[in-house]
Amino acid sequence: MTHAADANAAASDLGAADIERIYRSLRLIRRVEEEIVHLYPSDRIKSPVHLSIGQEAVAVGICDALRPDDVIAPTYRGHAGYLAKGGSLGGMMAELYGKSTGVAGGKGGSMHLIDMSCNVLGASAVVGTTIPVALGYAFALKSTKTDRVVVAFFGDGATEEGVFAESLNFAALRKLPILFVCENNFYAIHAPLNRRWATEKLCERVATYDIPAYRCDDGDVLKLRSLAIGAIARLRRGAGPVFIECRTYRWREHVGPNTDFGAGYRPAAEMEPWLKKDEVMRLAALIAPERRVAIDAGIEQDIAEAVRFAELSPFPMAEALYANVFAGA
Amino acid sequence: MQMSLPAPEGRLLTYADALREAVAQEMRLDPRVFLFGLDVDDHKAIQGSTRGLLEEFGAERVFGTPLSEDAMTGLAIGAAIAGMRPIHVHIRMDFLLLCMNQLINVAAKASYMYGGQVRVPLVVRSMIGKSWGQGAQHSQGLHAMFMHVPGLKVVAPSNAHDAKGCMIAAIRDDNPVIFVEHRLLYHTTAFVPAHSYEVAFGKARLCMRGDDLTIVGISSMLPECLRAGQMLADIGIFPEVIDPISLAPLDIATMVKSAQRTGRLLVVDSAWTSCGASAEIVARVVEAEDTSAAIAVRRMGYAPTTCPTTPALECEFYPDPAKIATVAHAMVRPQEPAWTPNPARAKLPYLLKSHGPL
């Protein structure tokens, strides 16, 4: 049934190139979001943002185990998943700026990022909503007899929605190639788990659907990657869905660029252990300093280019208001 | 008086058989089409409208589901985004309320909020379950809720010919289409061509020509309006009866043109009138740019109550041909005392046959 991740040796299986790739992805997401924090007071970003800072390891660990033709369904706290899967950085920044060159032409914003060219399904601002959509994509993949897989990302709050249970049941019934990844950051907006769940036995709940369920308690990106590799191998074999609960921690406020430990709903001390095991720092330490400097410089350059692209891009023309209400119109 | 359904061609087919034929023809043509929903593969086969599809196309393309309307709607959307063309069937329109998050927040908006990166070719079949004690939660006509939301198409064919053509058009459409059926229409017949054809959305049909008033009948109210029209003709009142067929898009131009000519517009819906399709049609006719002369307007629909089960109240709840004729008469000849047609003549065959147990 359930067991905590046991992948202590995971790092030793990896070569320097793997570690560098994973680090780059973690660092890119962290730095992009720090840049968003930096830009936010300028009011040039025209979209509410739900930052993943502190939670990057979940998206990166899982997505590093995927092929380009695999599909992910991120959430409205989705910058991390979107970028980890390779979503266009310039298209994302332009989208946040409300520009016509954004991935949704400025009509979706941060909460509806999408990049179908990288198989990133569109995110939704309604909790849990993308779980069955991901399920449907997995159904279609199974129907077409490919070995591609789908990952549905969602938070702990989404597991309280009825559609989560409905989707688990159908995925198990049809043995669909879908990996359910719960990013458990312990809060649904500001409501803690102990006011929402009678028990924390989430994996046990899921396992009753005959879905193998795993939990990773510490946000270790390499353990998560290792778990994902095993899970995805099972999906590709057609053996049915897998569930992974990834405990993690949101460092910033629910929505917006700030910290919110003064608000009273959670103590600052709660974040301390997570700060100590910051995965960005941990992986940075595994990389030769000169390599790290080069990677970081590359990231800064990419971000600067993306921001410049967003700033120089035009806003959509008024006629665009009516475009795409219907497909092809 | 002129019926302008297309010239009789093909065979007399029931509405249910026409739907089945449309789906079967499209499934033969396009392997991406699949049909699913509660009970589509059981022995009752959704009033016969899915009979034989499982046998012909197999359980991968025709299947019943768990009672999970929310997730199954999301499943349809996800499959559609992945390139398939799902037909999701609901045996009552009331059950669409369990699908609203996915239909309104995702299906309707995906094309727009994702900047055209995805499309959702999805048909949602649902049945208005009027009559014989179907009551509060098995009889609602909720199409106006979907007309309200940009990004959805809504069609409500009133006869077997249009049922087939609209179904084929809906399956081929790259957008979500809410397909409104009516339980009392399933056994009605019309001439239906055997070949594949589309009935285009956004084009109303003139079903009866006349100069005295314009009557728009939606879904099952169309045949009831036609019967009312026949009774009105007996006393020298000649209505123009229009079937909108599709409610979104709405062919308002045809209704405007007719109402401007007759000066009177009565819209009869198989639904409540408040914020309903009838309200929308009346408002758009009246506010049309080229409407200058006053047009007298009336709406008829469900009584503004929950639908009762007892026949003694159910008959009060629904419009019927006699009530429609009475209202139309009062609009055309307001100076005359109220007129009630012969009740025996007012009953349509399907109303006479509509009895239980169901």
The one catalytic residue among B21, B69, B240, B314:
B69
Could you give the residue ranges of the DSSP H alpha helices within chain A?
A: 16-39, 56-63, 79-84, 89-96, 130-143, 162-174, 202-207, 221-236, 272-276, 279-284, 289-312
B115: nearest Cα among A73, A45, A112, A75? A112
pLDDT score at B278 = 98
Is the CATH number of domain B205-353 3.40.50.920?
yes
Could you give the residue ranges of the DSSP H alpha helices within B173-301?
A: 221-234, 252-262, 277-286
* Structural domain boundaries enclosing A245: 3-315
Q: Confidence band (pLDDT; 50, 70, 90) for A10?
A: low
Q: How many CB atoms lie within 10 A of CB B264?
A: 20
Q: How many CB atoms lie within 10 A of CB A238?
A: 12
Residues 126-185 of A with CB under 8 A from B: 126, 129-141, 143, 162-163, 166-167, 169-170, 173
pLDDT score at B4 = 57
Interatomic CA distance for residues A223 and B76, integer angstroms: 34
Element (H, E) at A244: strand A242-247
pLDDT score at A3 = 46
pLDDT score at B38 = 95
* Domain-embedded: residue A89: yes
Q: Confidence band (pLDDT; 50, 70, 90) for A5?
A: very low
Interatomic CA distance for residues A98 and A104, integer angstroms: 9
* Domain-embedded: residue A323: no
- Tokens for A176, please give them: 């669909």
Q: pLDDT tens digit string along A251-309?
A: 999 999 999 999 999 999 999 999 999 999 999 999 999 999 999 999 999 999 999 99
Element (H, E) at B242: strand B239-243
* Domain-embedded: residue A55: yes
Q: Which candidate from A132, A134, A324 shows the least CB-CB separation from B116?
A: A324
pLDDT score at B358 = 43
Phi and psi angles of residue A314, each rounded to the nearest 5 degrees, phi first:
-80, 155
Residues linked to residue A178 through DSSP beta bridges, in sequence order = A150
Interatomic CA distance for residues A293 and B274, integer angstroms: 66
pLDDT score at B352 = 54
Residue type at B291?
T
Q: Which residue would you say has higher pLDDT here, B357 or A170?
A: A170
Interatomic CA distance for residues B178 and B88, integer angstroms: 10
* Domain-embedded: residue A229: yes
Average pLDDT over residues A146-153: 98
The domain spans of chain B are 11-192, 205-353
pLDDT score at A13 = 77
B232: nearest Cα among B349, B341, B343? B341
Residues linked to residue B189 through DSSP beta bridges, in sequence order = B14
Is the CATH number of domain B11-192 3.40.50.2300?
no
The tens place of each residue's pLDDT in chain B, 358 residues long, gives 333 566 778 899 999 999 999 999 999 999 999 999 999 999 999 999 999 999 999 999 999 999 999 999 999 999 999 999 999 999 999 999 999 999 999 999 999 999 999 999 999 999 998 877 889 999 999 999 999 999 999 999 999 999 999 999 999 999 999 999 999 999 999 999 999 999 999 999 999 999 999 999 999 999 999 999 999 999 999 999 999 999 999 999 999 999 999 999 999 999 999 999 999 999 999 999 776 778 999 999 999 999 999 999 999 999 999 999 999 999 999 999 999 998 888 877 766 554 544 4
* Nearest-Cα residue of chain B relative to residue A73: B78
CB-CB under 8 Å, B118 with A114: yes
Interatomic CA distance for residues B336 and A145, integer angstroms: 71
* Domain-embedded: residue A142: yes
Q: Which of A11-15, A169-173, B82-86, B176-180 has the lowest average pLDDT?
A: A11-15
B69 labelled catalytic: yes
pLDDT score at B5 = 61
- A108/B contact by beta carbon, under 8 A: yes
pLDDT score at A1 = 38
End-to-end CA distance of chain B: 37
Cα–Cα distances in angstroms (integers) from residue A211 to residues A282, A317, B344, in the given order: 32, 49, 62
Length of chain A: 329
- Number of residue pairs across A and B with CB atoms under 8 Å? 141
Element (H, E) at B300: strand B296-302
- Complex ipTM value: 0.95
CA A60-A30-A272 angle, 5° bins? 95
Could you give the number of structural domains in chain A?
A: 1
The alpha-carbon gap from B67 to the nearest alpha carbon of chain A, in Å, equals 8
* Domain-embedded: residue A328: no
pLDDT score at B343 = 82
- Which residue in the block uniquely carries the two structure tokens 């939301």? B149
B182 labelled catalytic: no
CA B289-B291-B294 angle, 5° bins? 145
Could you give the residue ranges of the DSSP H alpha helices within chain B?
A: 15-29, 53-57, 69-81, 100, 110-113, 143-147, 160-172, 221-234, 252-262, 277-286, 311-317, 321-332, 343-346, 349-353
* Domain-embedded: residue A322: no
Burial A147-183 (b: 16+ CB within 10 A, else e): ebbbbbbbbbbbbebebbbbbbbbbbebbbbbbbbbb
Three-state secondary-structure class, residue A50? coil
Give the distance, in angstroms, between the CA of residue A174 and the centroid of all CA atoms in the same chain: 25
Q: How many CB atoms lie within 10 A of CB B194?
A: 12
The one catalytic residue among B21, B26, B90, B138:
B138
* Domain-embedded: residue A157: yes
CB-CB under 8 Å, B151 with A122: no
- pTM to 2 decimals? 0.95
Q: Which candidate from A112, A115, A166 shows the least CB-CB separation from B68?
A: A166
Between helices A130-143 and A162-174, what is the axis angle to 10°?
Answer: 10
Query: If you ran DSSP here, which 8-state letter would residue A258 be given?
Result: S
Residue B152: how many CA atoms within 13 Å on its side-chain side?
Answer: 24
Three-state secondary-structure class, residue A252? coil
Average pLDDT over residues A206-221: 97
pLDDT score at A2 = 44
Q: Which candidate from A141, A166, A328 shows the least CB-CB separation from B70?
A: A166
The alpha-carbon gap from B239 to the nearest alpha carbon of chain A, in Å, equals 35
Residue B297: how many CA atoms within 13 Å on its side-chain side?
Answer: 22
